Structure formats: C-alpha cells, structure tokens
Amino acid sequence: MLARKNQTKYHFNPKKFRPALCGYCFLPAQSPRLLINSDSIYGCCCKEHLELIREGKKLKRVAVACDEGIDYTINASKQSYLEISKKNKSYILHEWSREDRELFYLRIVDAYLTWANEQARTGKLEKVIEDGSI
C-alpha cells in the first residue's frame, strides 16, 4: 500500500519512495544511485556496487537487532505512542487509523535506525545515546 501512494503515473517519486540500503552491502544507499529493473528497485552506496548488483552479486549479510538499540527505540517512541493514542482516543494500537499506525511504525523504525547509524558512525559498542539526543 505505501508504495502505491508514492508512485506517480510515470514510475515512482524518488523523493518519497527510495531504497534505504544498498542492495549489495546493505549500507545506507546514496540517493541518486538507483538500479531500476522491470520488477525491482535497488539502492546503491557507490558505483562499484551498482555494477555488482547489475551482475546479480550480493553479500550474504543480514541485519540483526541490538538490545541497546531496542531500549533506545522504546524510550524514543513512548512520546509518539502517547500523542497518537490521545489523538485516536485509544491506547489499543489496532483501533487507530491506518495512517496513524503507519506513522507510529515509521517513527519506531526511524528511531532504531537513528541509533544504529550513530553507533556505526562512532564505532562505540556501549550506549551511544545516553541523554536521549543525537
């Protein structure tokens, strides 16, 4: 459903819908680098990886969640949960409007990726964000 909203009659809107990770190495994709096939769109972090994806090559790496990142995400999403609950007059997630559920999930994912990106940028294995800010 989200992809359909972000598509235009020509193809898709890269400002609203774009891969977040490189299809080869799973690092953050650089915005203008996209490989568009008839049925898929891959983000790329560099020209070399764009060529490797064209050749059908990919690393066999998978992402894993980290307990400290999950803790940060829970704390970061609490305020959003409370605000959206009040707006929907319910603390029961499945009773919220679909739009508000999408917004809440987006904020959860964004909070975790913010934490993970900061951890990757600094290389610290201990808690990266101690005061709740980045």
CB atoms within 10 A of CB 5: 10
- In the predicted structure, residue 1 carries a pLDDT above the cut 60: no
Indicate the residue among 54, 77, 97 that finishes a domain: 54
Domain stops at, among 32, 54, 76: 54
pLDDT at 103: 94
Longest dimension (CA), the chain: 52
Would 44 be classed as within a structural domain? Answer: yes
Q: Is the pLDDT of residue 79 over 50?
A: yes
User: 66 or 47: whose pLDDT is higher?
Assistant: 47
Could you read off the pLDDT of 7-33 as tens digits, one per residue?
444 355 555 566 778 888 878 887 677
Q: Which pLDDT score is estimated for 48?
A: 92
pLDDT digit string, tens, across residues 84-128: 999 999 999 999 999 999 999 999 998 888 887 777 677 665 554
Query: Can you give the pLDDT at residue 14?
Result: 52
Residue 10 and residue 35 in one domain: yes
Statement to judge: residues 41 and 86 lie in one domain? no
Residues 6+ apart with CB under 8 A from 93: 101, 104
d(CA 51, CA 48): 5
The residue ranking higher by pLDDT, 49 or 6, is: 49
Which pair of tokens denotes residue 111?
């909070």
Count how many Cα atoms sit within 13 Å of the Cα of residue 45 in the half-sphere of its side chain: 10
Q: pLDDT value at position 118?
A: 77
pTM of the model as a whole: 0.56
127 located within any domain: no
Query: Do the domain assignments include residue 131?
Result: no
Residue 24 pLDDT: 84
Q: Give the three-state DSSP class for 133.
A: coil
Residue 13 domain boundaries: 2-54
* Among 116, 115, 84, residue whose Cα is nearest residue 102: 84
Residues 75 and 115 in one domain: yes
Question: For the chain, what is the domain count?
Answer: 2
Distance CA(122)–CA(126), nearest Å, equals: 11
